[in-house]
Each structure stands twice: as structure tokens, then as C-alpha cells.
Amino acid sequence: MSPADAFDRRNLVTYASLLCGVAALEAAWSGHARTALGLVALAVVADTLDGRFARLFGDDPRRKALGVQLDSLADAIAFGIAPVVAAGSAFDAAHAGHGVLWILAAFGYAASAITRLGFYNVSPDAERGSGFVGVPVPVAALVLCSVSAARPSFPAFVLVATACAAAMVLPLRIPRPRRAGLLLFLLWPLAVAAVMLWR
């Protein structure tokens, strides 16, 4: 097996999430903060569905393990980096003169995100399947995007980003949603995306 073999159809939805994250970064750098926030929300939708999509193509252990790694790497970009860049773009005028504070808050968020993703990757399958330890990175990203859309004061936003960073790594036991709960959850990122992209 070579790296080229990793381009497997079961990972297509993971790549869709990554695409949204990369597009969000480009939108933020181009000054289109609302578009960037909406694209992060769409990445959450893709990430929520990627595991179920992958299972449609069998349960080969090696490809499953590779898929877990690819998912976390994509999450690091789409939900660890893109949200803080998008939020920074949205608050560009507000945090003028507070660059160091924002860099520290953004770093704290990103560091917590990749730490949680690394923790998830080395956790036993049984523990991963039973629920979450800490708030999932996509949920933290969605909170950040939702709050950014509401345009709170900059200090309040920094507090939210810091709270999200802490929530990702605290020993909080969160049950994994099933069917109805999952469908209800999906309404949240879809609503954020609709408001940000088509309003």
C-alpha cells in the first residue's frame, strides 16, 4: 500500500470537509469573513457524516485506521485553524490594537484543538465509541463561528474562544448522539451556513 492508495472513495466526505476548511481560509484572507464562517459550518456537516459514509464501503481495519488519521488531520485544519482565522477576519477592526491578545487566544484554541485530536487518535476504540471526552473540535468550531456571527464585543469573544479551548481538553464526558439527536444537531451548522452564505 502506498500513500496514493489513501485516496479512497470512503474518504471523499473527509476531503469535502478539508475543502471547506481550505476555502474558509482563502475567504478569510480575502476579507470575506461571513463566507469563511459559513464554510466552516459546512465543514461541520461533512465531518458529522464522513464516518457513516466511509462505513458504506466495508470495514477493512487498515483503511479504517487510515481514515481516522485523515479525519483528524482534516479536522486540525477545518476546525483548529480555519475558525480562528475566520473569526480574526470578522473582528479585524474590533481587535485593532489587541493583536497580541488575539494571537494568544487563537493559539490557545488551536493548541487545544490539536491536543484533543491527538488524544482521540490514541484512545482505545472502545472509549472512542462510547462517547466523547471533552467537547468535540467541530462543536467548538461551530460555537466560535456562531458567536462570531452575532458580533459580540471583542473582549467577550476572546472569553468565548478561551472557554472553547478549555472545553475541548477538560475531562467532560459527553454521550455520542444517535439518529434523532444527530439530525437535530445537523440543523445547527446548516442554519449557520445558510445565514452566513445566503443572507
Rounded to two decimals, the pTM is 0.90
Q: For residue 52, is pLDDT > 60? A: yes
For residue range 133-188, list pLDDT tens digits in order. Answer: 899 999 999 999 999 888 888 888 899 999 999 999 999 888 888 888 888 999 99
Q: What is the CATH number of the domain that holds 79?
A: 1.20.120
Q: Identify the domain containing residue 140 by its residue range.
A: 3-198
Q: Report how many domains make up the chain.
A: 1
Residues in CB range of 122: below 8 A, 6 or more apart = none
For residue range 93-136, list pLDDT tens digits in order. Answer: 455 556 788 889 999 999 999 999 999 888 876 456 667 889 99
